[in-house]
A = this chain, B = another copy of it.
Amino acid sequence: MSNPTAAMLVIGDEILSGRTRDSNAHHLAKELTIAGVTLAEVRMIADDHAVIVDAVNTLRATYDHLFTSGGIGPTHDDITADAVAAAFGVAIGVRDDAAALLSAHYERTGREFNEARQRMARIPDTATLIDNPVSIAPGFTLGNVHVMAGVPNVFEAMLASVLPGIKGGDPLLSQSLRVKRGEGDVAAPFGALAAEYPDLSMGSYPFQQNGVMGTNLVVRGTDPARLNEAMTRLAALFA
């Protein structure tokens, strides 16, 4: 009846130091909403083996799916694949299927498939590869954990490979009403309406534009008929 749940783990010192602004969490949030999977939690953590292992084990046990981003490149700070293998207690090494993809790619592009690049073929035993049409080096799915790259266009391409295989529920629909009243003026009637529709999620988001204060009232839910009914009532309240 209710939609499957998911969490995301964004892995990388560059996010927590403020050097890089993550965009993958927002992209995943939008895509899962369309797919009917409830994103319940996002965690951003450092490139630290013990921290990654602990977060992977907590989140994969709590939610139906866990998506990770970052830390699967060729350099010494790319430690996600090994940490995920450790979290599951399975072995990891350079795997033939991943190495074949990569060695063909580097042969085609005239670059050396050196030891550092072979690191990107390290895949935990029993994991299935996630296709990477952008830069070939694959992600992988192990159990309910989907391990993907941090570079946004690669993350997005990998997610597009993974999502069709995930059974979603009903897409989360949303409608919004923009009213030129302060949040404090709409709060009482809006809250009363929300209490009548416990199956819908209602939120209010204030804005200021050209000196005009107002509030966006957003109603979310999976049943289009209920959503329409609530929006009709909402529009009447603030007509």
Contact = CB atoms under 8 A, between A and B. Distances in A.
Given A40-B46, A42-B44, A44-B41, A14 B218 contact: yes
B17 A220 contact: yes
B13 A201 contact: yes
Q: How many copies, total?
A: 2
Contacts of A218: 14, 19
Contacts of A32: 18
B42 A43 contact: yes
A76 interface: yes
A24 B97 CA distance: 41
Interface in A209-236: 218, 220
A92 interface: no
A89 interface: no
Chain A, interface residues (CB within 8 Å), range: 35 or more
Contacts of A108: none
A184 B116 contact: yes
B204 A73 contact: yes
Interface string A12-25: 11111111111101
Interface stretch (A80-88, A140-148, A159-167, A185-193): A185-193
A218 B14 CA distance: 9
A61 interface: no
A116 B187 contact: yes
Contact of A47 (B15, B17, B191, B203): B203
Interface in A1-57: 10, 12-23, 25-33, 38-47
Contact of A187 (B30, B42, B119, B174): B119
Contacts of A20: 205
Contact of A206 (B25, B26, B73, B188): B73
Interface string A135-178: 00000000000000001000000000000000000001010000
B111 A184 contact: yes
